[in-house]
Amino acid sequence: MRLRYCLGVAAAVAVGMPLGATAADSIKIGFPIPLSGPTAVYGKPVLAGAEMAVKEINDNGGVLGRKLELLSRDSKANADEAVRLSREMIIKDNVDFLAGTLTSAEAPAVSTVAKENKIVFVAPTSKSTILTDAQHIHPYIFRIASNTDVEGLAGATLMSRWKEVKKVATVAPDYAYGRDSIAGFTASLKKLRPDIEIVDSQWPKLGEPDFTAFITAQMSKQPDAVYCSLFAGDFVTFSKEATPLGFFKAINNRLIDGAEIGTPDEAQALGGDYPYGVIGDSYDPVIWNGNEPPEHKKFIEDLKTFTKSQYASGWSIVGYQAIYALSEGIKKAGSAKSDDVAKALLGLSFDTPVGKRTFSEKSHETFAPEYWGVMVKDPSLPFALMKDPELLPASFPSN
């Protein structure tokens, strides 16, 4: 018995494995994400995409001979809760990495935890520039999503095409994402259409239950068009209250929203109350009328099977990408140690169902343009559909 124990110790030392560990030890990924409340309409499908990626990777042998294990927790879209859960998973559950969060309140807060604990954190959805700007970037933070400057350039590009528009109003949630999204849009619009005037800006709180005062105040300014950054349950509430007040009719449906209202998720949430004719965006329009890459078609079919859904989500793709990016980083590093993986992710390219993505060595984010298009009523579907999705913008905004 003593001989066998000594031989076991020698074998463990030889392969650099801690005592008690085996090749079957899982690589744990902590995943705080909103699973309740108004933002769960996005949080749940993001998690589903991550879960499907984990299953695919594990079914193909895992990473470095080890299975991935996803530990999801309900962050409730609350920054303090996301921080508490992240610390708990690091200390109690010994997670190797962090991914997840939805809002730009949660992600920067969790990024601080990742920095303090020197653990890689891959954010799939947060767009606010403060996540990876010069003041807040650190070796362990990486972003899958577009940022608000990229989003703003796309929105301004579309707004600039309406030659008759001279007065624009904005409405966005009053927190990091909303403020950054309007700043990005305004900066690009000034370059593309300096003749356009911003005549009003409304800042409802995230989770605002009644938008009536904001809607009527904005209508009094008589804008020709509106740029909006409301999302999830907020956009649902806003639309249902704005339509009977004549808001969309007053602007001839010239509203552009860069907060993924073009997803089937949001379209299904609104159903027949969707304000047809507005322009929405999505990382994945899901339903393509043509030119669909075969990789994307397979991804959607697999996703519908995995989630047992008739219609796939436009949000699952970012959760899916986050896990595959992390997996490729572990493979490149040949290690599941965060310091090694953080270095490996710099400049890393990885495949996705909508094309290759590459992490910038400088900003730690990928260039992630989105699909934009007019939301129309389709007789074959019980919800709004994005007509002729256009991938925008073509590049990062120029300084």
In tens, the pLDDT along 43-84 reads: 999 999 999 999 999 999 999 999 999 999 999 999 999 999
What is the rounded average pLDDT of the residues 222-237?
Answer: 96
Mean pLDDT, all residues of the chain? 93
pLDDT at position 2: 38
Least confident interval from 13-22, 184-193, 374-383: 13-22
pLDDT at position 26: 97
Confidence of residue 223 (pLDDT cuts 50, 70, 90): very high
pLDDT at position 399: 67
What is the rounded average pLDDT of the residues 281-298?
Answer: 89
Q: With pLDDT > 90 as the criterion, what percentage of the chain qualifies?
A: 90
What is the rounded average pLDDT of the residues 124-151?
Answer: 96
What residue type is 336 in one-letter code? A
Give the integer Cα–Cα distance in Å for 348 and 19.
32
pLDDT at position 359: 97
φ/ψ region of 388 (left if φ > 0, alpha if ψ in -120 to 50, else beta) reads left
pLDDT at position 24: 52
Q: With pLDDT > 70 as the criterion, what percentage of the chain qualifies?
A: 94
What is the rounded average pLDDT of the residues 112-124?
Answer: 98
C-alpha angle 383-385-388 in degrees, rounded to nearest 5: 170
In tens, the pLDDT along 200-211 reads: 999 999 999 999
User: Per-residue pLDDT for 329 more than 50?
Assistant: yes
Confidence of residue 178 (pLDDT cuts 50, 70, 90): very high
What residue type is 233 in one-letter code? G
What residue type is 99 in one-letter code? A
Burial 113-151 (b: 16+ CB within 10 A, else e): bbbebebbbbbbbbbbbbbbeeeebebbbbbbbbbbbbb
Give the integer Cα–Cα distance in Å for 194 and 284.
31
Residues contacting 12, CB < 8 A, separation 6+: 18, 19, 21
Helix (H, G, I), strand (E, B) or coil at 155: helix
H or E element at residue 83: helix 79-91
Retrieve residue 296's tokens: 């994307």
C-alpha angle 204-209-212 in degrees, rounded to nearest 5: 65
Confidence of residue 289 (pLDDT cuts 50, 70, 90): confident
Map out the domains of the chain with their CATH numbers.
Answer: 2-146+302-358 (3.40.50.2300), 149-282+370-392 (3.40.50.2300)
Confidence of residue 21 (pLDDT cuts 50, 70, 90): very low
In tens, the pLDDT along 331-373 reads: 999 999 999 999 999 999 999 999 999 999 999 999 999 999 9
User: Per-residue pLDDT for 290 more than 90?
Assistant: no
What is the rounded average pLDDT of the residues 379-387?
Answer: 93
pLDDT at position 22: 43
User: Per-residue pLDDT for 103 more than 90?
Assistant: yes
What is the rounded average pLDDT of the residues 290-319?
Answer: 94
